[in-house]
Amino acid sequence: MNSEVKLGTPVIVLNEKVYVESVGNKGLELAKICEEVAEKQGISIAICPQQVELAKIVSSVNIPCFAQHVDAVSPGSHTGSVTLESVKETGATGSLVNHSEHRLKIADIDFIVGKAASLNLLTIVCTNNIAVSKAVAELKPYAIAVEPPELIGSGRAVSQEDPGIVEDTVREV
């Protein structure tokens, strides 16, 4: 991966989370569907497979793949942690950071964004409001995804439920 890695915009980012419907081969099937739609429709789609499937899916599709989470640690004795180095080794494009289901402290976000940039990995930092988005923007992540927590997993799109938060966030950032 090189420092020229970019995502086409607009981009659809599908987070598979840890639903039973995206375990193992089912997750790979979803990734392949995303790849097919991206190619046929000429749109940018990235996928965030379950962590244990990341390497397999990265090697099986030609769309950007992101880790669902990384920890703010360097390689060492951190049992169960996911390092940016391990994500890079899979060939992934980068990582989601600070998803509302896995919130981090600003110091940890800062560490992750900075280290990811040094490794040529992209970060999509999730935020829940305009103020947090502004603070995160100062850290210079690749992208910010703003979504109020009450909409996560609701099936209701931010752009329909609260288009103002998107517009206001863009203006403020």
Catalytic residues: 99, 147
- Please state, as a whole number, how many other Cβ atoms lie within 10 Å of the Cβ of residue 33: 14
Angle of CA points 111, 116, 117, to nearest 5°: 105
Which 8-state DSSP code applies to residue 65? B
Phi then psi dihedrals of residue 167, to 5 deg? -60, -45
Which 8-state DSSP code applies to residue 66? E
R_g (Cα) of the chain, nearest Å: 16
d(CA 116, CA 73): 12
d(CA 128, CA 149): 6
Which 8-state DSSP code applies to residue 70? -
Which 8-state DSSP code applies to residue 144? E
Peptide bond into 10 cis (omega under 30): yes
